[in-house]
Chains A and B, each alone.
Chain A
Amino acid sequence: MNEKSNRNVLEVRDLCVSFFTDTGTVKAVDRLSFDLPEGGTLGIVGESGSGKSVTSLAIMGLLKGTSGRITNGSICLDGRNLVPLSEEEKRKIRGRDISMIFQEPTTTLDPTMPVGIQIGEAIRLHSRLSKADARKAVLELLTSMGFSQPGQLYSAYPFQLSGGQCQRIMIAMAMSGHPRMLIADEPTTALDVTIQAQILDFMRKLKKESGTSILLITHNLGVVAEMCDQVLVMYCSRPMETGMVKDIFAHPMHPYTRGLLASIPQPGVSENTLYCIPGNVPDPGKTLPGCKFAPRCSEAMDICRQEEPPAFLYDNGHKSCCWKCSAQYGGNAHE
């Protein structure tokens, strides 16, 4: 991981995704820009309604079939813009250049097929192996993933396996095409803490061996601190703060980030009352002018309620979309 190149595997600029429903248009992602460097791990953190999952679907081109559309912006994979591609071209990229794993591993696997056959299918989609060779490749893959009985696992059905095993198989399937990047959408949220530790360990080992870049989407700041080099905090479709994990956790600038970090109970730290961000996540359909976080922000100024802040750039790639931060720390407007 020390040989990080300066190249970016993924460059997203001004991404806007909207959902066109009968009750109106809802902006799920609003002017999102970020880079995923080669071999790096970027965590996108947000609560419900932040737009983090929609972002991953947009990158994979999986919005077709929903009422969501990319209305603006570009998503460049190794310099190639994915947005204007046809469905056929997007399909070629999925699984081979970009792979994705989802939250509920037991339901994302086909319940009617043994898992070995499913992994084999995934392999054969992106290589020209025969069925017999694919079976061998699957067994090799399972052994290299640390499964002790690959033969037994090959013919097992998803319902016979635990959540942790299914997730490891999903990750194996996702990595089988040796993709440039892996998108992991809340991969451990549905799993127990001890299994989560197993999976995160597994993902770290894989990453070290294959050098795949990872885009990790989660609401768990602890997972981000463990797995990621960089983090992007989203709130209500907007990016709030982004930067290196060390910087963000040590010196969070944005009031939302600071509020989030303060409201997580930490074992061994005794406090009388937990800090909590007042109010609720606003209705995505009802947009007010100004900064999206202003209604709940204890440090909101007048300008926050009138005009949306652009991203201000600070040291080391640390960006914060906040007027108060800019007033306090300076920073150059970056949008």
Chain B
Amino acid sequence: MSFWRAFKKQKLAVIAGIVLLLLIVIAVFCTKIAPYGINEYDYSSCLQAPSAAHLFGTDEFGRDLFSRVLCGTRISLLIGFASVTLAALLGCAIGLFSGYAGGRTDTVIMTACDVLYAFPGLVLAIAIAAVLGPGLINVVIAVTVFRIPVFARLVRGNTLKLKNAVYVTAERNLGASKSRILFRHILPGVLPNIIVQYSLSVSSSILTSASLSFLGMGAVDPTPEWGLILNGARTYVFTNLYYALFPGLAIFITVLCFNLLGDGLRSALDPRLTAQEGSIS
């Protein structure tokens, strides 16, 4: 399939994809790989610099940072995937319906999405987290809500465009029902864009949840969420830089990889689409 060939050309995206696969493997097997427990206090080795025994050093309670950061992978990826999947499903449903219905229904729904979208993401997430209280599930909800309008707008725009495509008119001519047209003909056309947005949204979602935890509004100790670890590292940033460095790097690498993957997917999908639907004469 020419999509894979086009994707393989995006070297950065391929590397990012491999790193992400590695991260997923880590997330799945983190408890087996981690040398120590995530909440293993050891007051005899507090705030130790990285060494052979503690690869990333220890925090103020003597907990091994390597194990904590490693296990944080599972949490971050879970939050990322869960929240974006929920947002994508809800956003797509809203977008498909709104785009196909058109008219006043469309205007009302889109205005509601615009209002939601107008809030700066983090502020909205904070507001929701403040209402719901701390905890990981509430982080997921907060991040989901603020991502829904992005998917809804994207899907609605594509639906509007595809609704008037000639092949959709041909389906109406054959007597196809509205739901058949939406799910068999319009949705597959929107799917490539959804996939690209999904990847980009995961990175944003991970960043937001880390920010929430950093601000003390998300995960609660002893959950080894990267943002929460960074929160703990704040006090020691000038004396024990390694404490903040590794969780920070983890966030940076994960977010970067999802962004590169999303960009690569977008580039790989676009020329394929134009090659399929256009012609050279």
Which residues of A are interface residues toward B (Cβ below 8 A)?
A: 22, 48-49, 53, 284
Does B281 count as interface, using CB distance less than 8 angstroms? yes
Give the interface size bracket for B toward A: under 10
Inter-chain CA distance A284–B279, complex, in Å, is 12
Q: Specify which chain A residues have a CB less than 8 angstroms from the CB of B9 in the assembled complex.
A: 22
Inter-chain CA distance A48–B279, complex, in Å, is 10
Closest to A53 in B: B281
Inter-chain CA distance A53–B280, complex, in Å, is 11
Inter-chain CA distance A22–B280, complex, in Å, is 15
Inter-chain CA distance A49–B279, complex, in Å, is 10
Q: List 6 A-B contacts (CB under 8 A).
A: A22-B9, A48-B279, A48-B281, A49-B281, A53-B281, A284-B280
Q: Is the interface of B mostly helix, strand, loop or mixed?
A: loop
Q: Specify which chain B residues have a CB less than 8 angstroms from the CB of A53 in the assembled complex.
A: 281
Q: How far is the CB of A54 from chain B (nearest CB, A)?
A: 10
Please report the number of residue pairs spanning A and B whose Cβ atoms sit closer than 8 angstroms.
Answer: 6
Inter-chain CA distance A257–B9, complex, in Å, is 44
Q: Specify which chain B residues have a CB less than 8 angstroms from the CB of A48 in the assembled complex.
A: 279, 281
Q: Specify which chain B residues have a CB less than 8 angstroms from the CB of A49 in the assembled complex.
A: 281
Closest to B5 in A: A22
Closest to A49 in B: B281
Closest to B6 in A: A22
Q: Specify which chain A residues have a CB less than 8 angstroms from the CB of B279 in the assembled complex.
A: 48
Question: Which residue, B9, B279, B280, B281, has most C-beta atoms of chain A within 10 A?
Answer: B281
Q: Specify which chain B residues have a CB less than 8 angstroms from the CB of A22 in the assembled complex.
A: 9
Inter-chain CA distance A21–B151, complex, in Å, is 35
Residues 255-280 of B, flagged 1 when their CB comes within 8 A of A and 0 if not, give: 00000000000000000000000011
Inter-chain CA distance A48–B278, complex, in Å, is 13
The 6 nearest A-B residue pairs measured at CB: A48-B281, A49-B281, A48-B279, A53-B281, A22-B9, A284-B280
Q: Specify which chain A residues have a CB less than 8 angstroms from the CB of B281 in the assembled complex.
A: 48-49, 53
Q: Specify which chain B residues have a CB less than 8 angstroms from the CB of A284 in the assembled complex.
A: 280
Closest to A48 in B: B281
Inter-chain CA distance A48–B281, complex, in Å, is 5
Inter-chain CA distance A230–B281, complex, in Å, is 24
Inter-chain CA distance A49–B9, complex, in Å, is 28
Q: How far is the CB of B112 from chain A (nearest CB, A)?
A: 33
Closest to B275 in A: A23
Inter-chain CA distance A53–B279, complex, in Å, is 14
Q: How far is the CB of B11 from chain A (nearest CB, A)?
A: 14
Inter-chain CA distance A48–B9, complex, in Å, is 30
Q: How far is the CB of B273 from chain A (nearest CB, A)?
A: 16
Q: How far is the CB of B8 from chain A (nearest CB, A)?
A: 11
Q: How far is the CB of B95 from chain A (nearest CB, A)?
A: 30
Closest to B281 in A: A48
Query: Which of chain B's residues 1-18 have a Cβ closer than 8 Å to chain A?
Result: 9
Inter-chain CA distance A49–B280, complex, in Å, is 8
Q: How far is the CB of A140 from chain B (nearest CB, A)?
A: 39
Q: How far is the CB of B74 from chain A (nearest CB, A)?
A: 39
Q: Specify which chain A residues have a CB less than 8 angstroms from the CB of B280 in the assembled complex.
A: 284
Q: How far is the CB of A178 from chain B (nearest CB, A)?
A: 32
Query: Which of chain B's residues 159-182 have a Cβ closer than 8 Å to chain A?
Result: none
Closest to A52 in B: B281
Closest to A284 in B: B280
Q: How far is the CB of B105 from chain A (nearest CB, A)?
A: 30
Q: How far is the CB of B164 from chain A (nearest CB, A)?
A: 20
Closest to B279 in A: A48
Closest to A281 in B: B281
Inter-chain CA distance A48–B280, complex, in Å, is 8
Q: How far is the CB of A266 from chain B (nearest CB, A)?
A: 25
Inter-chain CA distance A284–B281, complex, in Å, is 10
Q: How far is the CB of A190 from chain B (nearest CB, A)?
A: 15
Inter-chain CA distance A266–B280, complex, in Å, is 29
Q: How far is the CB of A304 from chain B (nearest CB, A)?
A: 25
Inter-chain CA distance A87–B95, complex, in Å, is 48
Query: Which of chain B's residues 224-281 have a Cβ closer than 8 Å to chain A?
Result: 279-281
Q: How far is the CB of A258 from chain B (nearest CB, A)?
A: 23
Closest to A46 in B: B281
Inter-chain CA distance A284–B9, complex, in Å, is 24
Inter-chain CA distance A160–B149, complex, in Å, is 37
Inter-chain CA distance A128–B94, complex, in Å, is 59
